[in-house]
């Protein structure tokens, strides 16, 4: 037992240079350094938690060296930080003459890997072959499957044949045999997998999803995202990059990131869950227009974004919300949610206590605070459950939003000139503060309601009349134009909702991802 805790120290060769290699179960890490370095003394160190696999080198190198000295070798594959947030699978091969020593090293590393209990062994994978640039299947087969197999992860792979295939399947499948579910696709595909898992959990726990105030049962299975969509903001905002290999490595090493989920109801009827953006007005209109142009792939959003910006519509309605406790930070904070975020950690404790109280039928002690009501004309109403950082906007719609604090950042962009709205949009791309504008307000909330000024029936009734006047150019004042723009629609993680009047509530840490949040400085 004692010897298992002692470091294993040996002289091994790496690329014709003699190294001292140390495997220290206490740190726990594998490190090696050259004994007679040509220049400087370079020491390499890999935490055991980031080792992907160890393999015996078969005598496949038919090289002279191998033959002459009868060398033995093993290769360690590990996750290496490449550029900012981007990980790659690297390998180092150690050589020695002693077969027994080589075997001892392999066994010692394998033993330490077995202690990494958070790693998945068996995964259920859903691939959307039509997301983004329609590359999902190739991305999985060429970049991800070989890494899973190297890490001895077994998989059941389903290439979806229709929308909702993955969601429906998750209601039927035996989930007990899996350690996680992987979504290969974009935000819409992730949303499908999440709806399947959350819905299944509620069904198995007899919880009625139509009840907006029902405490939902959390999902224990982690979800992994292999990005192959058009926005990929859920992947980008939880990993720091939309790169399939980086995501695969986070899955293999068994990372964990809790995530809040918003439920959206209309008249006590469940509509959808949202994890990234719930957007009414600008983002709803972009979505509505872009759906007609799916064939364009990711470019459809830029095209429709430009068109929607030119059309410059505003919408009237009432937003009511309850602000979150100040201990949960503010959307104007300069600091952002990062790996190990203390605000999210504090919420982990609270949510555990809340679930315990609920389990024992104890009374709720939470003080929900007063309701604030804002009536107005809005260019956009955006509810960001996370930063929504993505390649189009690297800091996101709400840069300081938290992944798992149990809060949503509610951004109200009031009616303004085209130039002002452009100033606001441009700030999503540069370092300037998109909230520091007179017509933009932002609140950190736990729940909100939206009621459009015009009843939703009115919108449908007038549709046919308006269709006849489609060639008129709208000036934003819809009473005189022929467009069907009295109400907008809600863009819910890239899917359209059927109703404009909604009740939204955040469920703290309802799901778990194979991710770790944004690392502060992950450059090598």
Ligand X SMILES: CCCCCCCCCCCCC/C=C/[C@@H](O)[C@H](CO)NC(=O)CCCCC
Catalytic residue numbers read 187
Stretch that binds ligand X, among 20-28, 139-147, 253-261, 385-393 (CB under 6 A): 385-393
Of the candidates 469, 447, 188, the residue with the CA atom closest to the CA atom of residue 301: 188
Structure tokens at 97: 């003459």
Please give the residues from 265 up to 284 whose contact with ligand X meets the rule CB under 6 A.
276-277, 283
Q: Which is nearer to Ca ion, 77 or 402 (CB)?
A: 402
Among ligand ATP, ligand X, Ca ion, none, the one that 189 touches (CB under a kind-dependent 5 to 8 A) is: ligand ATP
The residue behind tokens 């709208």 is: 474
Which stretch in 48-56, 365-373, 388-396, 401-409 sits in contact with ligand X by CB under 6 A? Answer: 388-396
Among 374, 425, 437, 449, binds ligand X (CB under 6 A): 425
Give CA–CA dist 65/16, Å, rounded. 10
Question: Residue 385 binds which entry of ligand X, ligand ATP, Ca ion, none, with Cβ cut-offs from 5 to 8 Å by kind?
Answer: Ca ion
Contact between 187 and ligand X by CB under 6 A: the answer reads yes
What's the min distance (Å) between Cβ of 361 and ligand ATP? Answer: 38
For the chain, how big is the Rg over CA atoms in Å? Answer: 26
Distance (Å, rounded) from C-alpha 306 to C-alpha 277?
A: 19
Pair of tokens at residue 46: 């890999």
Residue with the closest Cβ to Ca ion?
Answer: 260
Which stretch, 262-270, 332-340, 422-430, 446-454, contacts ligand X (CB under 6 A)?
422-430
**Minimum CB distance to ligand X smaller for 252 or for 287:** 287
CB 224 within 8 A of CB 250: yes
Binding mask 343-382 for ligand X (x = CB under 6 A): ----------------------------------------
What angle separates helix 299-311 from helix 418-426, to the nearest 10 degrees?
A: 150
Binding site for ligand ATP (CB under 6 A): 128-132, 160-163, 165, 185-189, 192, 229-232, 494-495
- Cα 116 to Cα 49, 122, 252, 517: the distances in Å are 7, 15, 11, 20
Identify what 429 binds: ligand ATP, ligand X, Ca ion, none; CB under 5 to 8 Å per kind. ligand X
Q: Which does 132 bind (CB under 5 to 8 A by kind): ligand ATP, Ca ion, ligand X, none?
A: ligand ATP
Q: Which residue, 306, 284, 299, 303, is CA-closest to 391?
A: 299
How far is the C-alpha of 182 from the C-alpha of 139, rounded, in Å? 13
Q: DSSP readout, 190-241? A: HHHHHHHHHHHHHHHTT--TT-TTPPPPPP-SEEEEEE-SSS-HHHHHHHSS
Strand partners, 269: 266
- Binding partner selected for residue 277 from Ca ion, ligand X, ligand ATP, none, CB under the kind-specific 5 to 8 Å limit: ligand X
Residue closer to ligand ATP (CB basis): 192 or 459: 192
Assess 287 for contact with ligand X (CB under 6 A): yes
Write down the least CB distance from residue 162 to ligand ATP, Å.
5
Whole-number Å distance between alpha carbons of 104 and 3? 13
How would you class 488 by CB atoms within 10 Å of its CB: exposed for 0-12, middle for 13-18, buried for 19 or more? buried
Tell me the C-alpha to C-alpha distance, in Å, between residue 420 and each of 317, 378, 423, 439, 510. 21, 13, 5, 9, 37
Kindly identify the residues of this chain, within the stretch 211-270, that bind Ca ion according to CB under 5 A. Answer: 260
Q: Does 493 bind Ca ion (CB under 5 A)?
A: no
Number of residues near ligand X (by CB under 6 A): 23
Q: Does 236 bind ligand X (CB under 6 A)?
A: no
Please tell me the distance from the alpha carbon of residue 312 to that of residue 490, in angstroms, as a whole number.
17
Window 177-206: contact mask with Ca ion (x via CB under 5 A): ------------------------------
Binding marks (x or -) toward Ca ion, 369..408, rule CB under 5 A? ----------------x----------------x------
Contact 285/496 with Cβ under 8 angstroms? no
Q: How far apart are CA 53 and CA 182, in angstroms?
A: 21
Catalog residues that contact ligand X under the rule CB under 6 A: 186-187, 231, 233, 276-277, 283, 286-287, 301, 305, 388, 390, 392-393, 397, 425-426, 428-429, 491, 493-494
Catalog residues that contact Ca ion under the rule CB under 5 A: 260, 385, 402
């Amino acid at each position: 037992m004692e010897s298992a805790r002692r470091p294993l120290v040996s002289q091994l060769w790496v690329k014709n240079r003699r190294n001292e290699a140390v495997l220290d179960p206490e740190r726990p890490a594998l490190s090696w350094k050259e004994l007679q370095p040509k220049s400087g003394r370079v020491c390499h160190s890999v935490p055991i938690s980031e080792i992907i696999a160890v393999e015996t080198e078969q005598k496949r190198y038919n090289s002279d060296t191998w033959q002459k000295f009868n060398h033995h070798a093993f290769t360690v594959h590990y996750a290496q930080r490449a550029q900012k947030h981007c990980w790659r699978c690297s390998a180092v091969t150690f050589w020695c003459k002693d077969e027994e020593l080589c075997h001892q090293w392999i066994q010692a590393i394998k033993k330490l890997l077995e202690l990494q209990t958070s790693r998945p062994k068996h995964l259920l994978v859903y691939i959307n072959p039509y997301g983004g640039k329609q590359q999902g299947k190739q991305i999985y087969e060429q970049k991800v499957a070989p890494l899973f197999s190297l890490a001895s992860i077994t998989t059941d792979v389903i290439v979806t044949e229709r929308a909702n295939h993955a969601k429906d399947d998750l209601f039927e499948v035996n989930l007990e045999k899996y350690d996680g579910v992987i979504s290969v696709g974009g935000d819409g595909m992730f949303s499908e997998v999440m709806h399947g898992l959350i819905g299944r959990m509620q069904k198995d726990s007899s919880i009625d999803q139509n009840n907006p105030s029902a405490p939902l049962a959390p999902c224990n299975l982690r979800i992994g995202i292999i990005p192959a969509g058009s926005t990929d903001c859920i992947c980008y905002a939880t990993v720091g990059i939309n790169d399939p290999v980086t995501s695969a490595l986070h899955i293999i090493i068994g990372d964990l990131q809790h995530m809040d989920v918003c439920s959206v109801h209309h008249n006590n009827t469940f509509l959808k869950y949202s994890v990234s953006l719930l957007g009414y007005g600008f983002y709803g209109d972009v979505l509505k227009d872009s759906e007609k142009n799916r064939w364009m792939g990711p470019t459809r959003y830029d095209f429709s974004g430009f068109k929607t910006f030119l059309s410059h519509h505003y919408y009237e309605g009432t937003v009511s919300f309850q602000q979150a406790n100040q201990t949960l930070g503010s959307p104007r904070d300069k600091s952002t949610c990062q790996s190990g975020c203390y605000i999210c950690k504090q919420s982990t404790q609270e949510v555990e206590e809340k679930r315990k109280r609920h389990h024992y039928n104890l009374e709720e002690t939470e003080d929900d605070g007063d309701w604030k009501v804002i009536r107005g004309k809005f260019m956009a109403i955006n509810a960001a459950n996370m930063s929504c950082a993505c390649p189009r906007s690297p800091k996101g719609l709400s840069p300081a939003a938290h992944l798992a604090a149990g809060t949503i950042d509610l951004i109200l962009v009031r009616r303004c000139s085209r130039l002002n709205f452009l100033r606001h949009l441009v700030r999503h791309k540069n370092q300037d503060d998109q909230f520091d504008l007179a017509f933009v307000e932002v609140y950190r909330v736990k729940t909100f309601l939206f009621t459009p000024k015009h009843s939703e029936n009115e919108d449908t009734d007038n549709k046919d009349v308006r269709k006849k006047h489609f060639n008129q150019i709208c000036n934003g004042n819809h009473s005189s134009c022929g467009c069907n723009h009295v109400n907008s629609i809600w863009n819910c993680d890239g899917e359209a909702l059927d109703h404009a009047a909604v009740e939204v509530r955040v469920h703290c840490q309802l799901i778990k991802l194979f991710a770790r949040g944004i690392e502060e400085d992950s450059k090598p």
